[in-house]
Amino acid sequence: MGQGLLRKLAARDDVEIRVIVGRDAEHVRPILDELRLLQSTFRSSFDSLLTDPSIHSIWLTNPNSFHGPQALAAMKAGKHVFCEKPAATNYADFCAQIDVQQKNPQLISYVNYILYFDPLEQRLRQMIAGSAFGAVTQIQVNYRNQMNITGPKAWKLSKAMMGDAFGMAINHALSVMVLAMASQAKPTSVFATSAPAKVKPFEAEPIWTIQLTFDNGATGVCLGNIESSNGYDAYHNITGTAGAFVFDPGHAQAQKVRYWSQRDTSGKWIWPLDKARCAAEGIDALAWPANTSTPDSADIIHHQTAACVDHFLECIRLGKQSPLSFVGAGPIGEIGWAAQISAATKQPVSLPLDRAVAMDFFSHQATG
């Protein structure tokens, strides 16, 4: 992901890449050569960035456990921060990020829930906000996919490095669900169950079922499994009082998405990506544009990398916080923390989290 972001940054004429930090110079050298960057651009010390006045923003794309401490250090040094998800693998760091940003609103932060920019997800948010399905009563978004843990990616097996399964991938589904519902409702409680690894030696439990209750009475469900080997599953199913929506990436291109709406389709199911079918049924106007991409794989580098780069830099230019700042994305991350408490206690957990209670839970968990 770091290399994917670097390529997008290097293609811009309003950005200068000053420093790339890593542990292995040989690993970094090929990308430096590709982008025609000086070998002196590489450094092995992150701390050297903090006192360099020529550096305005820091982009964190390293293993998850570094995100929290390095983001806090960067903000305290007056730098804008682009952070891969999760924002932190330590609850105290997660809370501190929110506090530091609130005290320093001039610093722009962003947590890379990249599906925010996917055209399908954008359209879905607009449809829900416009009451195309009426009041949403049930929503399901899955994330089931086998994580790549070969070679140097074996760090993903370690709970100390990876955090929890949410940090690796399942929070993509949670982000889609919470952002889709944002125009109608907020989550008020979490009930979660988890299961240990069945196939790969993950230290953190990779299999989760998460149920959200929203303040309008709606229910959300996320089925997550990061060791699943049966293809990529980002299934969406939304039911409302006046319509429904289904997205299943396992189907052929034209059949991946279907929906009905009393307002828009006269209550009839339609397949908006099937232009031929729409034409045959006389509903050409309801066919979606060809660029309405869908998240069909876990290869997030090729999803909407350019869009998230553009978004963060535009936020800096305008001095405006992103909806996915540490504060804005806080409710998404909080679901992951609440789910861990719920799975351990076998009880639903209210949102927003009681910080003191959650801090006590995670401090005891860390000490065994």
* pLDDT at residue 154 in the model: 81
119-129 vs 171-181: helix crossing angle, rounded to 10: 30
User: Concatenated DSSP letters for 253-319?
Assistant: GGGSEEEEETTTSTT--B-TT-HHHHHHTT-GGGPPPTT-----SS-GGGTSHHHHHHHHHHHHHHT
Specify the domain boundaries for CATH 3.40.50.720 within the chain: 2-114+302-329
**Tokens found for residue 347:** 């009880």
| Alpha-carbon distances of 294 from 201, 217, 239, rounded to whole Å | 31, 28, 20
| Cβ atoms of residues 93 and 75 within 8 Å | no
User: Concatenated DSSP letters for 47-92?
Assistant: HHHHT-TT--EEEE-S-GGGHHHHHHHHHHTT-EEEEESPS-SSHH
pLDDT per residue of the chain (368 residues) written in tens, 0 to 9: 888 899 999 999 999 999 999 888 888 888 888 989 888 899 989 999 999 999 999 999 998 999 999 999 999 999 999 999 999 999 999 999 999 999 999 999 999 999 999 999 999 999 999 999 999 999 999 999 988 787 777 878 888 888 887 777 899 999 999 999 999 999 999 999 999 999 888 889 999 999 999 999 999 999 999 998 788 899 999 999 999 999 999 888 899 999 999 999 999 999 999 999 999 999 999 999 988 888 887 666 666 889 999 999 999 999 999 999 999 999 999 999 999 999 999 999 999 999 999 999 999 887 65
State the Cα–Cα distance between residues 136 and 216, nearest whole angstrom.
Answer: 9
* pLDDT at residue 68 in the model: 97
Amino acid, res. 252: A
What CATH number belongs to 2-114+302-329? 3.40.50.720
**Tokens found for residue 42:** 């590489």
Which contiguous run of DSSP H or E holds residue 244? strand 243-247
User: Concatenated DSSP letters for 310-352?
Assistant: HHHHHHHHHT---TTSTTTTHHHHHHHHHHHHHHHHTS-EESS
- Tokens 């020529």 — which residue? 54
Amino acid, res. 327: V
Triad 37, 41, 44: Cα angle to 5°: 140
pTM of the model: 0.94
State the Cα–Cα distance between residues 72 and 83, nearest whole angstrom.
Answer: 11
Beta-carbon-side half-sphere exposure of residue 233 (alpha carbons within 13 Å): 18
**Tokens found for residue 250:** 């396992």
Of 351, 331, 329, 332, whose CA–CA distance to 341 is shortest?
351
State the Cα–Cα distance between residues 218 and 188, nearest whole angstrom.
Answer: 10
State the Cα–Cα distance between residues 331 and 354, nearest whole angstrom.
Answer: 13
* pLDDT at residue 301 in the model: 63
What is the distance between the terminal CA atoms of the chain, rounded to a whole angstrom? Answer: 33
**Tokens found for residue 128:** 């829900």
Distance, C-alpha 148 to centroid of its chain: 17
| Alpha-carbon distances of 70 from 45, 286, 333, rounded to whole Å | 12, 47, 17
